Amino acid sequence: MRSAGDRVVMMRCAAHWATVAAVVALVAVGTGLSETTTQEPPPPTDTATFTLTGEILDGLIDVPVIAAVIKVPELRRFTFTDVNGRFHFSDFPEGTWEIIVEHLGYNTVEGTVTLTEGNGLLLRMTPNPVALEGLEVMTRSDRLLAERRQRFPFRVTRISPRMLAEAINADPTAIFRRNSLSYIAACPAPPTRATDWMTPDCVMKSGGAARIRIYLDEFPMAGGMIHLSAMAKEMIHSMDWIPETAQLRVYTKAFIQRLDEGAYSLEPLIWE
């Protein structure tokens, strides 16, 4: 909510991973909901589909959580809750899927659940106990980056200005590894291209190792981790880490200033 002076309550969400099984109750939910447009059509599937409906509630006071984003990374789909805390996905395939629910001021809820026709989701989100730290101005850059993270179907881990400022190690690559919540290691195979030696780190996932691609202020960083380690952390405002696509987006303070001044807009995050 905004005040007359365009002030909002900034709520810092901790990167907390909760198990959906502990908070998900499979319930029969009505299907008379309007869906928020997803980023792309659902991928083709041979399994039976149905309309998945659900509701997101505050875990403490049982009120609807409005504008929470519900992501299904494997299907590359997402949607938002309405003013009643309800959501739905049309043409949703039956099966077992990872579900991620995010909202500013709440701990992220994620886990795997099996869904079939006739079931719905009732999810309760736990407020972040350190969310309210005072009144701050939400800048244009804060809003643009938060909106872009929400409209991406995969988890985006934010390395905030505070994390950078409080880091003891001045090496930005060390700060990234410490806060990425991912298994980062040397790539297991020799580089296949002349430029691969400049980005020697990979993220290890269930499907294997993926070479990390670094973007500095929206442009590919040719030197990768080597050039990033040479940057002074005081130059960097924040980072967005996307383990699913092995992308590290680094934003300098100068770039953030230009965003705040309205000199730039942001393109949606992409995946391959």
* pLDDT given at position 67: 93
192 Cβ neighbours under 8 A, 6+ residues apart:
none
Higher-pLDDT residue of 20, 257? 257
Distance CA 48, CA 31 (A): 17
Distance CA 207, CA 203 (A): 10
**Dihedral (CA of 25, 30, 35, 39) sign:** positive
Q: How far is CA 255 from the centre of its chain?
A: 21
- Report the pLDDT averaged over residues 116-134: 78
Q: Could you name the CATH architecture of 7-125? A: Sandwich (2.60)
Residues 115, 52 contacting (CB under 8 angstroms): yes
* Residues composing the chain: 272
Tell me the Ramachandran region of residue 130: left when phi exceeds 0, alpha when psi lies from -120 to 50, beta otherwise.
Answer: alpha
- Report the pLDDT averaged over residues 3-24: 35
* pLDDT given at position 271: 66
* pLDDT given at position 192: 58
In angstroms, the first-to-last Cα distance of the chain is 35
Distance CA 45, CA 214 (A): 33
Distance CA 101, CA 155 (A): 9
| Exposure letters 117-141 (e unless 16+ CB within 10 A, then b) | eebbbebbbebbeebeeeeeeeeeb
pLDDT tens digit string along 155-209?
899 999 999 999 999 999 999 999 998 999 888 766 555 554 445 688 987 778 8
121 Cβ neighbours under 8 A, 6+ residues apart:
24, 26, 27, 29, 52, 53, 54, 55, 99, 113, 115
pLDDT tens digit string along 57-82?
999 999 999 999 999 999 999 999 99
Q: Which of 90, 89, 108 is nearest to 100 (CA)?
A: 108
- State yes or no: pLDDT of 112 exceeds 70: yes
Going from the C-alpha of 35 to that of each of 20, 87, 90, 150, the distances in angstroms are: 22, 6, 8, 16
Domain ranges of the chain: 7-125, 139-260
Query: Residue 82 is inside which H or E element, if any?
Result: none
Distance CA 226, CA 249 (A): 15
The band of 234, judged by pLDDT with boundaries at 50, 70 and 90, is very high
Q: For residue 100, how many other CB atoms are within 10 A of its CB?
A: 19
Q: Could you name the CATH architecture of 139-260? A: Beta Complex (2.170)
The band of 45, judged by pLDDT with boundaries at 50, 70 and 90, is low
